[in-house]
Amino acid sequence: MGKLIVVTGRGGSGKTAFAALATKYLPTPQLLIDADADQSLAAMLGINLEETGISTISDVLYDIQTSGEESANLGTMPLPQKIEYLLQMSCLYESSHFDLLSIGVKWTQGCYCFPNEILRAILPELAKNYAVSVVDSPGGLEHMNRRIANEIDDLFVVMDPSSKALRNVERLKRISAELKITYKNIYLVANHRFDEEKAESLRSIPGAAYLGRIPRDPQVEEYDWNDSSLLELPVSGLASSAVAQVLAEAGY
């Protein structure tokens, strides 16, 4: 099984842009998991799931629940196997560089419990086929309670210069221990709102390693505005080169 990376951070910190740019430098093949209901990762990679005919996990589970037609067409196959088959056939966006799964919006009224349970069940098996799997988490720490993955290699925390962001690092460690979620490394990444001096202060946070700062890059904003893939950004760009350096510091 390849490495499992989880990218987390407060809403608006730039974690999804970091995850998208990281795919330029991580080893292939890659499995990307868009765990944010906004499907921001797909958009930042220039992917319109509706136009490509790819469903989200929530879409497939909703169809099974409301109509049962797709499920019935698979005959006597047990329901868990039907769901896994449908997810791989209907939900997996495939490219030469990476494959992508999106959780999507809520399956039904209520929580994301069932989609998360399904993803947690199939992720270890799916991940065997990839050098690295990257989970782009929703903003905040609520996603940790969903326990999409219990054994993480590297947690990249993209931070904004606020006391809440600092407290979130401690909460992240505490919640992980309470839920018995294991990880090998917590890596801190300062976003463009940090100045250099304040970013360097992140080195003093215990139990985590500060790897670097991602500067503001007007090209990222332009590409995002135009729905262009961040993978097309030049490697010499401010954000691209900074993400490459961060990953190098992490050993990638």
What digits encode the pLDDT tens for the residues 44-70?
999 888 888 888 877 777 776 666 555
Task: Output the pLDDT for position 132.
Answer: 94
Residue spans of the domains in the chain: they are 3-249
Strands annotated E in the chain: 3-9, 30-34, 93-94, 98-102, 132-136, 151-159, 182-190, 209-213
Task: Output the pLDDT for position 174.
Answer: 87
Nearest in space to 33 (alpha carbons), one of 109, 111, 120: 120
Task: Output the pLDDT for position 131.
Answer: 94
Sign of CA dihedral 112, 113, 116, 122: negative
Compute how many other C-beta atoms are within 10 angstroms of the C-beta atom of residue 181: 19
Assigned fold of 3-249:
Rossmann fold (3.40.50)
Task: Output the pLDDT for position 121.
Answer: 67
Task: Output the pLDDT for position 12.
Answer: 86
**Contact in structure between 4 and 136 (CB atoms under 8 Å):** no
Buried b (16+ CB within 10 A) or exposed e, 54-71: bbbbbbbbbbbeeeeebb
Q: Give φ, ψ of 44 to 5 degrees.
A: -70, -15
Task: Output the pLDDT for position 111.
Answer: 47
Residue 176, pLDDT > 90, answer: no
Strands annotated E in 137-230: 151-159, 182-190, 209-213
Nearest in space to 230 (alpha carbons), one of 97, 98, 94, 41: 41
Task: Output the pLDDT for position 112.
Answer: 47
Nearest in space to 61 (alpha carbons), one of 142, 138, 136, 121: 121
pLDDT tens digits along 84-143: 677 777 888 998 889 998 887 654 444 445 556 666 666 777 788 899 999 998 765 555
In angstroms, the CA 31 to CA 76 distance is: 30
Task: Output the pLDDT for position 130.
Answer: 92
Residue 151, pLDDT > 70, answer: yes
